[in-house]
């Protein structure tokens, strides 16, 4: 065991719901036994779709948990045992109506690893072709064709506050400078 690693001793399921489960684990930490509550999530994907070299597709939708409209990149939840790349292709079309001929992985992030195991896979999509939307039931989304430079300005000004969107755009910017 490393100086930081914690080992699960036991686990108790507290909640089983549609998109999350919650468990309470008894763990052995380097400083002794303690408890950790964990929100289990199947993970998901985030797509940075380029219409052309200067413009991307952002989406606007109401986020009930946040209590407001948010501007985000298209994203979606992985279905059980679904390949992240297949999920990304599905979600891009469902949410924006576009299909991409070119894809690049931008890595992955953990959204809130202090209490949640949600892992999001980040993708860059380009060479887009419109195919028509296929929203999930009860999903209402608006596409926003946005200059990439403006998207970064929207982060700086606080108009984009969604962490997965900020992370994917930062990953893309880093990739472009390497």
Q: How far apart are CA 68 and CA 141, in angstroms?
A: 13
Backbone angles phi, psi at 177, to 5 degrees: -95, -10
Q: How far apart are CA 46 and CA 138, in angstroms?
A: 20
Angle at 97 between CA 96 and CA 103, to 5 degrees: 75
**For residues 20 and 63, is the Cβ–Cβ distance under 8 A?**
no
**H-type helices in the chain, by residue range?**
84-96, 148-157, 163-177
* DSSP designation for 79: P
Burial of 143 (0-12, 13-18, 19+ CB in 10 A): middle
CB atoms within 10 A of CB 99: 16
* DSSP designation for 138: T
Annotated active-site residue 137? The verdict is: yes
Catalytic residue among 137, 139, 142, 153: 137
Give the residue numbers annotated as catalytic, written as ranges: 137
């Amino acid at each position: 065991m490393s100086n930081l690693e914690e080992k699960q001793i036991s686990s108790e399921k507290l909640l089983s719901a549609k998109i999350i489960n919650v468990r309470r684990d008894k763990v052995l930490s380097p400083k002794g036994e303690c408890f950790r509550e964990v929100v289990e999530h199947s993970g998901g994907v985030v797509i940075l779709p380029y219409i052309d070299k200067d413009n991307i597709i952002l989406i606007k939708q109401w986020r009930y948990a946040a209590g407001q409209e948010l501007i985000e990149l298209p994203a979606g939840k992985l279905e059980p045992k679904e390949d992240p790349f297949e999920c990304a292709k599905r979600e891009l079309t469902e949410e924006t109506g576009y299909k991409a001929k070119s894809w690049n992985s931008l890595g992955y992030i953990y959204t809130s690893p202090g209490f949640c195991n949600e892992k999001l896979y980040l993708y860059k999509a380009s060479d887009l072709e419109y195919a028509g939307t296929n929203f999930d039931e009860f999903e209402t989304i608006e596409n926003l064709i946005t200059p990439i430079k403006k998207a970064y300005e929207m982060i700086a000004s606080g108009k984009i506050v969604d962490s997965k969107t900020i992370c994917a755009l930062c990953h893309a910017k880093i990739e472009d400078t390497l």
